[in-house]
């Protein structure tokens, strides 16, 4: 069953529609690749997808085990490579809302990150640098 329908709008922009909800996302080419950078670029969505997936899987795990990560923030930096142009690295910093998670809870969080389907679908060549911080930055 079709999940997303994407249409080219011209001017290096696309509109993707999530068919189940009708939600739309517009993309623009980045300024370093002939675009205006006025919307997420496709590679920005890639980086955001990784972070959203990881947070969702952690949320499922913590909900199952009776604790919460509400307020967690993930800062993601996308590093581009050349020849051919590609995402060479994601630098991902998870900041959890407090530092009072016990050792078991921290292991659950770390294990959940490894269960992210987006991360598990990426090629081994893509470098992912992860940092976990507990407590507001």
Domains of the chain: 4-33 (no CATH), 42-134 (3.30.300.20)
Cβ–Cβ < 8 Å for 74, 110: no
pTM equals 0.90
Q: What is the mean pLDDT of residues 101-117?
A: 95
Q: What is the mean pLDDT of residues 83-111?
A: 96
- The pLDDT tens digits of the residues spanning 25-74 come to 999 999 999 999 999 999 999 999 999 999 999 999 999 999 999 999 99
Residue 137 in this model has a pLDDT that exceeds 90: no
Please state, as a whole number, how many other Cβ atoms lie within 10 Å of the Cβ of residue 93: 16
The reported pLDDT for the residue numbered 124 is: 87
Cβ–Cβ < 8 Å for 109, 96: yes
Tell me the CA distances in angstroms from 130 to 19, 75, 113, one per residue in order: 32, 10, 10
Length of the chain as a residue count = 137
The reported pLDDT for the residue numbered 135 is: 85
Residue 136 in this model has a pLDDT that exceeds 90: no
């Amino acid at each position: 069953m079709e999940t997303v329908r994407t249409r080219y709008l011209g001017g290096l922009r696309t509109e993707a529609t999530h068919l189940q909800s009708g939600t739309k996302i517009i993309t623009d080419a980045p300024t370093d690749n002939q675009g205006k950078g006025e919307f997420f670029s496709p590679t920005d969505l890639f980086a955001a997808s990784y972070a959203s997936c990881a947070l969702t899987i952690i949320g499922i795990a913590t909900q199952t085990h009776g604790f919460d990560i509400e307020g967690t923030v993930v800062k993601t930096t996308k590093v581009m490579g050349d020849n051919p142009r590609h995402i060479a690295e994601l630098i991902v910093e998870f900041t959890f809302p407090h530092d009072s998670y016990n050792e078991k809870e921290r292991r659950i969080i770390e294990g959940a990150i490894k269960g992210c389907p987006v991360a598990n679908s990426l090629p081994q060549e893509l470098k992912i640098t992860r940092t976990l911080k507990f407590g507001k930055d």
